[in-house]
Amino acid sequence: MGVRIDLSGKVAIVTGAASGIGRASARLFAEAGASVMIADRAEAVQETLAMIEQAGGTGFARQMDAGDEAAVKALAEDACARFGGLDIIYANAGITGGKPGGLFDSDAGEWAEVLRVNLIGPYLAIKYGAPKIQARGGGSIVCTASVAGLRSGAGPASYSASKAGVINLVKTAAWQLDGTNVRVNCICPGLIETGMTKPVYDYARGAGKLEKIGQLNPMKRGGEPEEIARAALFLASDQASYVNGQALPVDGGLSASHPIAPRGNRGV
């Protein structure tokens, strides 16, 4: 019999909550009992709030830029003012940016924007959220990295570099926050069907090749946002009370190996 994760009495911030992983996580956090402050640049963040409230949850939505320092500071302050404090941050907002071609097909401006949202955004969430979480006796900060941050081959160069930065950021932050009872971890999703990966899935469907999605991982499929949300819920909760400074791949096993040609193995 499984143990249900309970976030009753907790206050959580989720960025990038208008769709995909952020929406799934915000809904799951609220279902677990947390009061959820959700944020995104897109108006659809209000749709996420409506889903939370229709399911009986408590939340508030803000349209804001997760890479803007003043906006992130205001978000943390607003969460405390509305709900009495802050226990959890899931810094999930991100953009793909760049071009698939690689290093020589992008420019410094594109790189700066990707790093601003994907890496500076989580840094700001930690900077302004950690002191408020510490004031409540401790809690959890979770960031979205990527398997692209672990090794080459899973995204544009700028995106991959930004996600590698997130992985090191959580390790550095975990030590910077030693003794505070504020844990910092990240999730490294594989290929997940979200707005960000929609072009990949649309192309595969249009070409009649949907079965090839995820063919490079041992599970032979892509993932769903809810599968990442469940990992985020675990890391956000007291069930992960001794997990700190870690990067957790949730990728169907993709990062378990260097690339190899599928051999058709089907067990022993």
| Alpha carbon of residue 202 to chain centroid | 22
C-alpha–C-alpha distance, residues 102 and 162, integer Å: 14
Query: How far apart (Å, rounded) are the C-alpha atoms in residues 186 and 232?
Result: 8
DSSP state of 148: G
Residue 159 is inside which H or E element, if any?
A: helix 157-176
Q: By the 8 A CB rule, do 50 and 27 touch?
A: no
b/e code 146-177 from CB counts within 10 Å (16+ = b): bbbbbeeebbbbbbbbbbbbbbebbbebbeeb
pLDDT score, position 260: 60
Strand order in the sheet with 58-63: 58-63, 35-40, 11-15, 88-91, 139-144, 182-189, 247-250
pLDDT at 152: 80
- Out of 90, 159, 201, 203, pick the active-site residue: 159
List beta partners, residue 90: 14, 142
pLDDT of 100: 62
What letter does residue 117 receive in the DSSP assignment?
Answer: I
**Angstrom distance (rounded) from CA 90 to CA 14:** 5
At 1 the pLDDT is 34
What's the CA gap between 143 and 166, in Å, rounded?
7
In order of start, what are the domains of the chain with their CATH numbers?
11-191+225-248 (3.40.50.720)
Q: Which of 93, 94, 86 is nearest to 37 (CA)?
A: 86
Residue 178 contacts by C-beta under 8 Å, 6 or more apart in sequence?
Answer: none
Beta-carbon contacts of 258 under 8 Å, excluding residues fewer than 6 positions away, are none
Q: Give per-residue pLDDT as tens, 160-209.
A: 999 999 999 999 999 999 999 999 999 999 888 665 655 655 545 555 55
Q: What is the pLDDT along the chain (268 residues), one digit of tens a residue?
A: 345 899 999 999 999 999 999 999 999 999 999 999 999 999 999 999 999 999 999 999 999 999 999 999 999 999 999 999 999 999 999 998 766 656 788 889 999 999 999 999 999 999 999 999 999 999 999 999 999 899 887 788 899 999 999 999 999 999 999 999 999 999 999 888 665 655 655 545 555 555 656 567 776 877 899 999 999 999 999 999 999 999 999 988 888 886 665 555 555 5
Output phi, psi for 52, to 5 deg: -60, -45
Q: Is 159 considered catalytic here?
A: yes
Q: Are strands 247-250 and 182-189 parallel, antiparallel or unpaired?
A: parallel
- Whole-model pTM? 0.90
Give the C-alpha separation, 178 to 126, whole Å.
14
